[in-house]
């Protein structure tokens, strides 16, 4: 299929000014570029969790697996293992990836499975109407924590570095061109790519002014130094009043999980003969 | 010694290699023309504790041990003191005389090992060699079994065994029978072979007794079977990874026990809603919770039949022995893909880790059925509504197809919907798959029977209790029935099998009578239940008195 209509007929139900629109249009632009460059979109799969972000599966006219909350990553891992030729992209929320499915995120990074994860990090639960998430700042007043949270946010970039991800970036929904480059770079990277996308929630946690006042762009220099990346990732801890770096933090090339575990070429033994031989040896 | 059969107990502490020693003894019986069965009893620890195996050989294929034993191979003193009630007046005790004092055939194990410069781990070979002589097993048989079944150090093991063989006397010769040699495999191996025969390409599992030995078996043999084996971070990932693999077109199975299956239930419900084929081995152990990790139970029947939110078709098969397990594991793979549903192989510790003799020339022929595929003539809709409720499959990467799976209620193209008509339409579609599955099962032999078919008293059992119930029914002339398929419930075939029965006794290994309740739900009223729930499987010797009590 070429030149396909990339948006489905499904009715869009995101709130006006939601950051998800930016991510959708950015992803659409990246897919169009891929198609122009010769990639068949028949070989692209989108996997989502559950949350506002996940409606992307209904809205984009590509192969999709609309999974369950927190579990997009093991599904995506299975898809990549099933067919290494597929380009597998995950759209997940911050509650999805950093709370319910944190174990899967760490293990996907640890394995360096060649998938690209876009974390729609609005730092609040939107679809369940406004509770804190793992990246909400200390003291965040949500509907489950009316007196303010009593816990610090986690720093997902630091976590991804510690876990073994080989492409780590932070984007922002108000900087679409940069976001497009980061997503395209993640898809092009052979290995586990995690892009934490600061996304405003127009209804429950609108951080637009704060982000606009604190962001700056990382220089386009060498990104292979782990310690430099760690220091940079720790500059802003998702809580304190610090400059917020945007761009690519770390990139390194390592063997991928699917190449290590799936034998090539796939051997097709005569199973009947193999089973008979096994049974014969047990006599 | 019972006529035309023999029972041998091998005991020692964990780490003594009791299971391997038992496997060698089972092969001796196999080579003598007996149909062997091995029951392995061990606590959940790595070193210490008491392990024992009971190896029984009979004239006909069996699936259960007997309590009295004719020979005891005692690697430690506890083996003699602990099993006194199993001994009869002619029981022969073969023992390591360094650690055990008993009447019988003592073997100077440490002296033999030091003279042969053999490592301590070969001490079992000395006791096995002495047993062979005491039982009148020809040296050629010992040589043949050691050569074929010892993974390494055959020559040294044989020298150690020979020294002990020459040290003792033949006291209770085991007569040779004329049966053909069988293949000795565990229930889990049979399940694995059936999955492979059924076209499995991926096996995904997180270790949990008593399913782990299937993970080990398939991982060890992945190359020769042409499969890939993955051990992910937890059972949640296991199930979801399997669903991703199936979406990508790979026939995938997962394996666990009850506790791990608890974590898989959200993925199971997803498989039901998104109509994704997946095969699950759930091997039961004693619960609730961590329970008795290495002991058996049949207490997850209702859990498996009802797990997962919402309503969706599922296939549940509970094989009774290795032969059943091989056939039905392959069938489960085909059924999962034909109907795009989860298919369960419900086993238990007794089946998973018991060793059964199967005739390799008699294993059923398996065909890998291709699922209904998209023909490309119309735009692809993953959930296209059809008369049978089964939508043609295709996989991402197929030219011209957009394949959309969805955990939400969805329309035919896989896009989320909350529209009442579409929700009802998809629910009806899934229900038609249930009906189709039930109709297909009517064409298979889903209920097994044994004993005297016309007898008015019938024993109903399921799963591994088949071994004990079929044997007891034959022994005292009752009728025995075992539905292999439990969902869809084989009402027609079971009713037929129970025709004319005036008294129905249910035997199962749980405390609440779960199978009896299932029968009642389907209009079949048991008159009595015989339950065991201490982690140990019934032997005929334990079951018979209780059976006589309820049918008196």
pLDDT at B451 over 60: yes
Whether this model's ipTM surpasses 0.90 comes out as yes
- Name the residue in chain A with its Cα closest to that of B367: A272
User: Cβ contacts of residue B288 below 8 Å, gap of 6+?
Assistant: none
The pLDDT score that the predictor gives to residue B498 is: 97
Average pLDDT of span B460-486: 97
CA distance B90 to chain A (A): 30
Whether residue B396 and residue A43 make contact (CB cut-off 8 A), yes or no, is yes
A165's tokens: 């991800």
Q: How far apart are CA B383 and CA B360, in angstroms?
A: 42
B264 part of contact set with chain A, CB < 8 Å: no
CA distance A282 to chain B (A): 5
The pLDDT score that the predictor gives to residue A126 is: 87
Residue A124 lies inside a defined structural domain of this protein = yes
For B:16-45, CB contacts with A below 8 A are: 30
Pick the closest to residue B362 from B180, B149, B148, B224 (CA basis): B180
Cis peptide before A112 (omega within 30 of 0): no
CA distance A188 to chain B (A): 18
Angle at B87 between CA B85 and CA B89, to 5 degrees: 125
Q: How far apart are CA B32 and CA B52, in angstroms?
A: 22
Handedness of CA B77, B78, B81, B83 (dihedral sign): negative
Question: How do residues A41-59 score in pLDDT, each as one tens digit?
Answer: 999 999 999 999 999 999 9
Pick the closest to residue A47 from B538, B405, B119 (CA basis): B405
Residue A14 lies inside a defined structural domain of this protein = no
User: What's the full length of chain A, in residues?
Assistant: 283
Whether residue A74 and residue B407 make contact (CB cut-off 8 A), yes or no, is no
The pLDDT score that the predictor gives to residue A266 is: 64
The secondary structure element, H or E, covering residue B344 is strand B342-348
Backbone φ, ψ for residue A204 (5° rounding): -110, -20
The domains located in chain B, with CATH, are 6-167 (3.40.920.10), 184-362 (3.40.50.970), 447-551 (3.40.50.920)
Residue A9 lies inside a defined structural domain of this protein = no
Using a CB-CB cut-off of 8 Å, the residues of chain A touching B223 are 263, 267
Average pLDDT of span A25-44: 97
pTM: 0.97
Question: How do residues B327-354 score in pLDDT, each as one tens digit?
Answer: 999 999 999 999 999 999 999 999 999 9
Whether residue A283 and residue B234 make contact (CB cut-off 8 A), yes or no, is no
The pLDDT score that the predictor gives to residue A265 is: 62
Mean of the per-residue pLDDT values of chain B = 97
- Name the residue in chain B with its Cα closest to that of A41: B397
3-state secondary structure of B36: strand
The pLDDT score that the predictor gives to residue B518 is: 98
Residue A10 lies inside a defined structural domain of this protein = no
B356-365 burial, b if ≥16 CB within 10 A, otherwise e? bbbebeebee
pLDDT at B420 over 50: yes
Residue A34 lies inside a defined structural domain of this protein = yes
Q: How far apart are CA B114 and CA B130, in angstroms?
A: 17
Backbone φ, ψ for residue A136 (5° rounding): -70, 145
CA distance A143 to chain B (A): 25
Is residue B48 within 8 A of residue B14, CB to CB? The reply is: yes
Average pLDDT of span B415-426: 98
Question: How do residues A172-221 score in pLDDT, each as one tens digit?
Answer: 999 999 999 999 999 999 999 999 999 988 889 999 999 999 999 999 99
For B:227-256, CB contacts with A below 8 A are: 228, 230, 232-234, 236-238, 240-250, 252
Whether residue B404 and residue A76 make contact (CB cut-off 8 A), yes or no, is no
CATH of the domain at A233: 3.40.50.970
3-state secondary structure of A179: helix
A146 part of contact set with chain B, CB < 8 Å: no
Is residue A230 within 8 A of residue A223, CB to CB? The reply is: no
B398 part of contact set with chain A, CB < 8 Å: yes
Counted domains in chain A:
1
Residue A26 lies inside a defined structural domain of this protein = yes
Cβ-nearest to A74 among B221, B237, B404? B237
CA distance B326 to chain A (A): 11
B409 part of contact set with chain A, CB < 8 Å: no
Using a CB-CB cut-off of 8 Å, the residues of chain B touching A77 are 232, 237, 241, 244
The pLDDT score that the predictor gives to residue A1 is: 44
Q: What confidence tier does B128 reach under pLDDT thresholds 50, 70, 90? A: very high
Q: B485-487 and B315-317 as β-strands: parallel, antiparallel, unpaired?
A: antiparallel
The pLDDT score that the predictor gives to residue A64 is: 98
Average pLDDT of span B201-208: 98
Mutate to test the interface with A, among B201, B265, B396 (most CBs of A within 10 A): B396
A11 part of contact set with chain B, CB < 8 Å: no
Pick the closest to residue B98 from B128, B127, B129 (CA basis): B127
Q: How far apart are CA A91 and CA B308, in angstroms?
A: 25
The DSSP result for B361-402, as a single string, is GGPPP---PPPPB--SSS---TT---TTSPPPB--TT-TT--
Using a CB-CB cut-off of 8 Å, the residues of chain A touching B202 are 81-82
Which residue intervals of B400-521 are DSSP H helices?
420-441, 466-476, 491-497, 514-521
Q: How far apart are CA B252 and CA B426, in angstroms?
A: 25
User: Cβ contacts of residue A216 below 8 Å, gap of 6+?
Assistant: A243, A244, A245, A246
Using a CB-CB cut-off of 8 Å, the residues of chain B touching A64 are 403-406, 414
Residue A132 lies inside a defined structural domain of this protein = yes
Find residue B185's DSSP bridge partners.
Answer: B356
CA distance A264 to chain B (A): 11
- Domain with A92 in it: 19-281
Using a CB-CB cut-off of 8 Å, the residues of chain A touching B193 are 275, 278-279
Cβ-nearest to B397 among A77, A86, A274? A86
pLDDT at A2 over 60: no
The pLDDT score that the predictor gives to residue B525 is: 97
A78 part of contact set with chain B, CB < 8 Å: yes
Q: How far apart are CA A124 and CA A143, in angstroms?
A: 10
Whether residue B406 and residue A57 make contact (CB cut-off 8 A), yes or no, is yes
A7 part of contact set with chain B, CB < 8 Å: no
Q: What confidence tier does B552 reach under pLDDT thresholds 50, 70, 90? A: confident
User: What's the full length of chain B, in residues?
Assistant: 552
Residue A8 lies inside a defined structural domain of this protein = no
B128 part of contact set with chain A, CB < 8 Å: no
């Amino acid at each position: 299929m070429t030149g396909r209509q990339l948006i489905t007929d499904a009715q869009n139900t995101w709130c006006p000014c939601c950051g998800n629109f930016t991510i959708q249009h950015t992803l659409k632009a990246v897919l169009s570029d891929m198609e122009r460059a010769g990639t068949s979109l028949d070989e692209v799969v989108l996997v989502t969790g559950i949350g506002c972000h996940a409606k992307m599966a209904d809205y984009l006219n590509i192969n999709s697996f609309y999974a369950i909350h927190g579990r997009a990553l093991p599904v995506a891992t299975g898809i990549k293992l099933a067919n290494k030729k597929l380009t597998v992209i995950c759209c997940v929320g911050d509650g999805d990836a950093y709370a319910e499915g944190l174990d899967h995120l760490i293990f996907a990074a640890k394995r360096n499975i060649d998938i690209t994860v876009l974390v729609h990090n609005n730092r609040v639960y939107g679809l369940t109407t406004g509770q804190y998430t793992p990246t909400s700042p200390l003291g965040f007043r949500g509907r489950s924590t009316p007196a303010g949270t009593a816990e610090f946010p986690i720093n997902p970039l630091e976590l991804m570095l510690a876990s073994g991800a080989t492409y780590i970036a932070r984007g922002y929904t108000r900087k679409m061109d940069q976001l497009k480059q980061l997503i395209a770079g993640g898809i092009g990277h052979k290995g586990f790519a995690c892009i934490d996308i600061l996304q405003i929630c127009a209804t429950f946690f609108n951080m637009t002014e704060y982000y606009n006042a604190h962001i700056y762009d990382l220089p386009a220099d060498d990104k292979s130094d782990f310690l430099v990346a760690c220091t940079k990732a720790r500059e802003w801890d998702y809580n304190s009043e610090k400059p917020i770096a945007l761009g690519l933090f770390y990139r390194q090339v390592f063997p991928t999980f699917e190449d290590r575990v799936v034998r090539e070429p796939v051997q097709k033994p005569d199973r009947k003969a193999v089973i008979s031989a096994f049974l014969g040896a047990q006599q | 010694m019972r006529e035309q059969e023999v029972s041998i107990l091998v005991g020692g502490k964990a780490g003594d290699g009791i299971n391997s020693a038992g496997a060698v003894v089972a092969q001796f019986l196999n080579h003598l023309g007996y149909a062997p069965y091995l029951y392995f009893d061990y606590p959940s620890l790595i070193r210490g504790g008491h392990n024992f195996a009971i190896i029984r050989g009979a004239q006909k294929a069996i699936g259960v041990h007997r309590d009295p034993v004719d020979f005891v191979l005692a690697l430690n003193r506890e083996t003699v003191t602990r099993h006194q009630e199993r001994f009869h007046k002619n029981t022969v005790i073969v023992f390591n005389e360094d650690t055990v004092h008993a009447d019988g055939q003592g073997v100077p194990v440490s002296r033999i090992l030091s003279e042969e410069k053999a490592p301590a781990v070969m001490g079992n070979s000395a006791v096995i060699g002495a047993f062979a002589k005491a039982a009148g097993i020809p040296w050629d048989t010992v040589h043949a079994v050691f050569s074929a079944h010892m993974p390494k150090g055959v020559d040294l093991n044989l020298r150690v065994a020979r020294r002990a063989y020459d040290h003792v006397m033949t006291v209770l010769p085991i007569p040779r029978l004329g049966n053909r040699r069988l293949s000795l495999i565990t229930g889990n191996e049979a399940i694995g072979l059936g999955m492979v025969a059924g076209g499995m390409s991926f096996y995904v599992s997180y270790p949990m007794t008593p399913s782990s030995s299937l993970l080990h078996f398939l991982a060890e043999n992945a190359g020769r079977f042409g499969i890939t084996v993955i051990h992910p971070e937890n059972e949640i990932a296991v199930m979801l990874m399997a669903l991703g693999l199936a979406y990508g077109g790979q026939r995938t199975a997962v394996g666990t026990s009850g506790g791990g299956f608890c974590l898989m239930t959200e993925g199971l419900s997803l498989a039901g809603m998104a109509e994704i084929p997946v095969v699950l081995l759930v091997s039961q152990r004693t619960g609730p919770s961590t329970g008795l990790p290495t002991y058996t139970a049949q207490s997850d029947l209702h859990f498996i039949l009802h797990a997962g939110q919402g309503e969706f078709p599922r296939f549940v098969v509970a094989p009774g022995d290795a032969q059943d397990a091989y056939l039905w594991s392959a069938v489960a793979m085909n059924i999962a893909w034909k109907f795009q549903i989860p298919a369960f192989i419900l086993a238990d510790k007794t089946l998973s880790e018991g060793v059964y003799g199967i005739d390799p020339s008699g294993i059923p022929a398996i065909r890998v059925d291709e699922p209904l595929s998209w023909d490309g003539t119309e735009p692809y809709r993953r959930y296209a509504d059809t008369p049978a409720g089964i939508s043609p499959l295709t996989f991402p990467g197929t030219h011209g197809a957009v394949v959309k799976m969805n955990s939400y209620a969805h329309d035919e193209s896989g896009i989320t919907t909350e529209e009442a008509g579409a929700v009802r339409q998809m629910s009806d579609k899934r229900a038609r798959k249930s009906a189709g599955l039930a109709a297909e099962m009517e064409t298979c032999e889903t209920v097994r029977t044994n004993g005297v078919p016309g007898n008015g008293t019938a024993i109903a059992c399921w799963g591994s209790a088949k071994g004990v119930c079929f044997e007891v029914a034959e022994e005292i002339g009752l009728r025995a029935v075992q539905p292999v398929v439990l969902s869809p419930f084989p009402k027609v075939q079971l009713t037929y099998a129970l025709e004319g029965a005036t008294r129905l006794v249910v035997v199962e290994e749980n405390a609440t009578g779960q199978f009896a309740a299932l029968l009642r739900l389907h209009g079949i009223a048991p008159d009595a239940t015989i339950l065991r729930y201490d982690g140990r499987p019934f032997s005929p010797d334990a079951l018979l008195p209780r059976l006589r009590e309820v049918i008196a």
